[in-house]
Amino acid sequence: MSNYTTDADILEWEPSIKEYGIIDFSTYHAKTKDDVNRWLRIHWWPKVRRASMNRNASYFNSAEAEMDETKLTASQLKTASVFHILAYYILPQLTQHGAEPDRFRMMIDFYKNKWLEEIQLVLQDGVEYDWNDSGTVENTEKQPEHFNRLVR
């Protein structure tokens, strides 16, 4: 699976970002994809994997032990990934890291909040994961976060 973002996606949100001297973001796209996948493995995968194991009674199915990132829908994670790459890779290179926050430091805070907000919305909507390897994600394969329910 390719990266979740491209330079064009970043330029949709920050059209003038390349004017500050960073011309190529290609290495950051791969890092952001790895970070988003790691975040999902920590915050989403253990819950749905446990639910899947209870449903299928396949406790020792090694194929489901780890999340397969190729089964995720990249377009669902694009916006969150744009916010992540801006907050954690691009904008930190532009700030002065001084005592007083500059324009870029404030943008970092803004995009960090947007990243968390967007990834939470993805969880609440239901992460699209192709459980049966059919090539399409059906509504039954979306795993929304639990609402009004105690999860232990």
pLDDT for the residue numbered 79: 96
Q: How many domains are there within the chain? A: 1
148 part of a folded domain: no
Residue with tokens 């999902």, as numbered in its chain: 40
pLDDT for the residue numbered 149: 59
pLDDT string in tens for the chain (152-residue length):
589 999 999 999 999 888 888 888 888 999 999 999 999 999 988 888 655 544 544 444 555 678 889 889 999 999 999 999 999 999 999 888 777 878 889 999 999 999 999 999 999 888 888 888 788 887 777 766 555 555 55
Residue with tokens 């059209």, as numbered in its chain: 15
151 part of a folded domain: no
In angstroms, the CA 48 to CA 46 distance is: 6
pLDDT tens, position by position, 106-135: 999 999 999 999 999 999 888 888 888 788
Q: By residue range, what is the domain housing residue 33? A: 7-15+25-143
Give me the DSSP letters along the chain: ---S--HHHHHHH-TTGGGGT----HHHHHHHHHHHHHHHHHHTHHHHHHHHHHHHT-TT-GGGSS--GGGB-GGGGHHHHHHHHIIIIIGGGTS---SS--HHHHHHHHHHHHHHHHHHHHHHH-EEB-TT-SSS--GGGEEPPP-SS---
20 part of a folded domain: no
- Residue pair 128/144 in contact by the 8 Å Cβ criterion: no
152 part of a folded domain: no
Measured over the CA atoms of residue 31, residue 1, residue 137 and residue 4, the dihedral's sign is positive
84 part of a folded domain: yes
2 part of a folded domain: no
88 part of a folded domain: yes
86 part of a folded domain: yes
pLDDT for the residue numbered 59: 44
